[in-house]
Amino acid sequence: MAGKVHTDSEALYAIRSAITKFADDIQTSQSDFYNRFEGMNYQIEDHLRDVRNQQEKLIEKKRSIDTQKEELVEQKQSVDSQMNKKKDGRTDSFVCDICNTKMMLKVYGDETSCKSSNGCNGKMHRVFIDSEYQKYKMASDQLEKKIESLEIEKGKIEKKIKDLETEEKEITYGYDQLQKRQQEIIGLLNFGTDSNPETTVGFIDKAIASIGVYQSVSFDAEESEDVKKVKNPDNTNFETDLEIKIKPTRHTPRNLPATEFGFTTDSSGNQTYDSPLEMDKYLYSSQGTASVYFQGTCGLCSCANVLRLAGVNHSEKEIIDYAANTPDGNGQFQKLCIVYSLNPNARGGTNAKNRKAILEHFGISSEIIQIKMENGIASDDTIKEISNYVMDGKGVILSVHANMLYYGKRFSDDYHAVTVTSVVKNKYGDISGFYICDSNRGTTLYSTQEIQQALTGADMNVTESHIR
């Protein structure tokens, strides 16, 4: 026989309590969103101010160059005027191109007929020896070079100003769109008149009072088979040993002296390391669910998956919160994942160095290992290394061309981080495939050749410890 069944009023009391708690939770969520949005807005506004300050400095520098140029142009005009006065009608040495006769002449122009007494019909050409003229000519040429140099520098500054103006427009537009999305989210968390929790609770209080005549009603009843199935669909009251072993319920990541898992062999003689399909239910297979602003979180989800393989349950949201607010050491606005992008599918993106820092923060030391490529695909040695790391119980994150795995075609901009959860060997002991947990699709078995062709050549992350 089963225990006492709840009456209708008891059920309504439970609903009333749940709605009150829900309202409290919503208020907490509102406060949390406000604080996070405020922090995000401050960062963007700081970046916008920095861009505008850079613009002002460059505009001031451009003004300074214009002033210098005007002064140099005035100086050149003065020098050129003096040079022109010296150019015509001055006394210089002339040399005949036939008889080589040299003499000092005062003539206009730079050539004249030969003036020698030997009857030569050649032409005499001016040889500038007027030191004062040469001085002006040299000064004019130097001023011209300085003016040209200032023009080049001014052109570079104008390009930088234009780039900053474009960046400012993009940030301003993105910030405006972001604030609209923020208002939409806050709006979703605000109760309207029709959904005020106090009104709902008041209605339930009236309902409770109206069925007060049933307060004394209680009875014992044997649970039906349908009830039993709802309470326990698998018809079991315990978790299997495997579920207990792989379920991520630890407070700290495992750090084992050696792997605790081995291979299982199927009827065809194929051997599979660990239990990739059973583990799949604990791993991320739908990235971007934690935030509409961060959709490119494959690397962050891969970090979360490695942590879960190590026995600890950290969410995508936790990983985003840490990565998006932690500088990567390369500048004030460079974080451990992409934050400042107008494309939500880019936000949350990482590289191997970012992922190493993230795993370190959550308690797992890791290495960055080079992927060796031959003729555009991963080498056999690299495939062996990956399989050895996985069979050792280490966590491995790879960078792949997503479209190669999905459609058999690779593109230059389809880099995607995935987690290797298992290795498959054929009956001869050769590595025939890998189970990959893809934060877009879940766990899938790929052949060795498919993985070789899909690898991008970007470095992989490998945990230093045996995590399972």
Compute the distance between CA of residue 438 and CA of residue 309 in angstroms, rounded to an integer.
14
Question: What letter does residue 428 receive in the DSSP assignment?
Answer: T
Range of the domain at 115: 91-129
Q: Answer whether residue 382 is part of any domain.
A: yes
- What's the confidence (pLDDT) of residue 353? 97
Q: In Å, how far are 73, 147, 153 from 63, measured between CA atoms?
A: 15, 14, 12
Please tell me whether residues 282 and 142 are part of one structural domain.
no
What's the CATH number where 323 sits? 3.90.70.10
Among 195, 224, 245, residue at a domain's last position: 195
- What's the confidence (pLDDT) of residue 193? 38
Please tell me whether residues 67 and 164 are part of one structural domain.
yes
Task: Decide if 301 contacts 289 (C-beta within 8 A).
Answer: no
Tokens 């981080």 correspond to what residue?
A: 417
Among 150, 166, 195, residue at a domain's last position: 195
Please tell me whether residues 296 and 171 are part of one structural domain.
no
> How would you label 123-151 residue by residue, b for 16+ Cβ within 10 Å and e otherwise?
ebebeeebeebeebbebbeebeeebeebe
Tokens 């225990």 correspond to what residue?
A: 3
Q: Answer whether residue 220 is part of any domain.
A: no
Please tell me whether residues 279 and 158 are part of one structural domain.
no
Please tell me whether residues 13 and 117 are part of one structural domain.
no
Among 74, 107, 129, residue at a domain's last position: 129
Task: Decide if 419 contacts 399 (C-beta within 8 A).
Answer: no
Please tell me whether residues 125 and 74 are part of one structural domain.
no
Q: Answer whether residue 104 is part of any domain.
A: yes
Please tell me whether residues 153 and 267 are part of one structural domain.
no
- What's the confidence (pLDDT) of residue 316? 93
Please tell me whether residues 122 and 152 are part of one structural domain.
no
Q: Which of 129, 41, 54 is nearest to 90 (CA)?
A: 129
Please tell me whether residues 174 and 309 are part of one structural domain.
no
- What's the confidence (pLDDT) of residue 116? 87
Task: Give the largest CA-CA distance in the chain.
Answer: 148
What's the CATH number where 184 sits? 1.10.287
Q: Answer whether residue 457 is part of any domain.
A: yes
**pLDDT digit string (tens) for the chain, length 468 residues:** 444 444 455 565 666 666 666 666 666 666 677 677 777 777 888 888 888 889 899 999 999 999 998 998 998 888 888 777 666 556 678 899 999 898 888 766 778 899 888 889 899 987 765 566 677 778 888 888 898 888 898 888 998 898 888 888 888 887 777 777 777 666 665 544 344 444 554 555 555 454 443 333 333 334 334 334 333 444 444 456 677 778 888 999 999 999 999 999 999 999 999 999 999 999 998 899 888 889 999 999 999 999 999 999 999 999 999 999 999 888 767 899 998 888 888 999 999 999 999 999 999 999 999 999 999 999 999 999 999 999 999 999 999 999 999 988 888 788 999 999 999 999 999 999 999 999 999 999 999 999 999 999 999 999 999 999
Please tell me whether residues 377 and 436 are part of one structural domain.
yes
**Tally of domains within the chain:** 3
Compute the distance between CA of residue 364 and CA of residue 304 in angstroms, rounded to an integer.
11
Continuous segment of H or E residues that includes residue 93: strand 91-96
Q: Answer whether residue 179 is part of any domain.
A: yes
Q: Answer whether residue 256 is part of any domain.
A: no
Q: Answer whether residue 335 is part of any domain.
A: yes
Compute the distance between CA of residue 226 and CA of residue 231 in angstroms, rounded to an integer.
9
What are phi and psi for residue 368, nearest 5 degrees?
A: -105, 115
Please tell me whether residues 362 and 316 are part of one structural domain.
yes
Tally the C-alpha atoms within 13 A of residue 21's C-alpha that lie toward its C-beta: 6
- What's the confidence (pLDDT) of residue 231? 38
The residues that bridge with 10 in the sheet, in sequence order, are none
- What's the confidence (pLDDT) of residue 189? 59
- What's the confidence (pLDDT) of residue 129? 55
Please tell me whether residues 300 and 391 are part of one structural domain.
yes
In three state form, how does the secondary structure of 328-382 look? CCCCCCCECCCCCCCCCCCCCCCCHHHHHHHHHHCCCCEEEECCCEECCEECHHH
First to last CA, the chain: 44
Which two tokens mark 224? 């039906």
What are phi and psi for residue 461, nearest 5 degrees?
A: -100, 130
The sign one gets for the Cα dihedral 194, 198, 201, 205 is negative
Which two tokens mark 5? 């069944």
How wide is the angle at C-alpha 462 spanned by C-alphas 460 and 467, nearest 5°? Answer: 150
What are phi and psi for residue 350, nearest 5 degrees?
A: -135, 170
Q: Answer whether residue 240 is part of any domain.
A: no
Tokens 């400012």 correspond to what residue?
A: 168
